[in-house]
Amino acid sequence: MSTTTQPIRLIVGLGNPGAEYAATRHNAGFWWVEALARELGVSLRLESKFLGLAGRSRDDIWLLEPTTYMNRSGQSVAALARFYKIQPESVLVVHDELDLLPGEAKLKQGGSHAGHNGLKDIQALLGTPNFWRLRLGIGHPRTLNLNQSVVDFVLQKPRQNEQPDIDAAIERSLKAWPLLAAGEFPRATMVVNTKPKAAKPAE
């Protein structure tokens, strides 16, 4: 039986617009999409009718960064998806994930928005949770032994020891892009979900 299904046609990175948010944990989705744009040679430009920065690859794949702020991301995603008749099953949303540690990443289709305001709005505006999600671990203040609220945590920069792990997860998960573009989701999931090997202690 073939493992190839409908390929990804729209990749959405979630984050907040503005220089003051650019380096914060909540913008991890933007980081991933910008890295893919560089790899594909795609320029992201303001598209007012799609409420975001958007660009299209030579293979007719759309990349999108909503400029609506996180809790209104669905307005941007739904506008582009409906205009180009892209089904939710062909949409990949890349976002920060509190339930994964920095350095971890997970690929899945559907499921709960788990309180993530960006996912919540996309689910509401698309009318289904059945889009794909690439979850980039940023950790949780509780698991990282930080005495701060989740709101404050996601709107701050990763600590110096966390950023390299997040960057490594982005680099690793980008290797799954050719598989996602081909609709080979089981293989892509294996690439993304494989945890990085722990470094061996120095002897």
CA distances from 161 to 64, 174, 198 (A): 29, 21, 15
> Which mean pLDDT values do the consecutive 10-residue runs of the chain (203 residues) have?
71 97 97 98 97 96 96 97 97 96 96 89 96 97 94 96 96 96 94 71 44
pTM for this entry: 0.92
The CATH number that applies at residue 171 is: 3.40.50.1470
Q: Quick one: which H or E segment has residue 164?
A: helix 163-174
Looking at residue 196, what is its pLDDT?
65
Is residue 198 a part of any domain in this protein? Answer: no
Is residue 132 a part of any domain in this protein? Answer: yes
Looking at the DSSP assignment, which residues form a beta bridge with residue 107?
134
Contact assessment for residue 89 and residue 130, using Cβ atoms and an 8 Å cutoff: yes
Residue 163: give the domain boundaries: 10-193
Contacts 24+ apart (CB under 8 A), 6-9: 6/87, 6/89, 6/90, 6/183, 7/90, 7/180, 7/181, 7/182, 7/183, 8/61, 8/90, 8/91, 8/92, 8/132, 8/180, 8/181, 8/183, 9/60, 9/61, 9/62, 9/84, 9/86, 9/90, 9/91
Residues acting as catalytic residues: 26
Looking at residue 195, what is its pLDDT?
74
Looking at residue 42, what is its pLDDT?
97
Q: Residue 9: which of 73, 66, 81, 76 has the closest Cα?
A: 81
Is residue 154 a part of any domain in this protein? Answer: yes
Is residue 161 a part of any domain in this protein? Answer: yes
Is residue 40 a part of any domain in this protein? Answer: yes
Rounded CA separation 132/12 (Å): 10
Q: Residue 127: which of 78, 86, 160 has the closest Cα?
A: 78
Looking at residue 198, what is its pLDDT?
56
Looking at residue 152, what is its pLDDT?
96
Is residue 4 a part of any domain in this protein? Answer: no
What's the number of domains the chain is made of? 1
Is residue 46 a part of any domain in this protein? Answer: yes
Is residue 199 a part of any domain in this protein? Answer: no
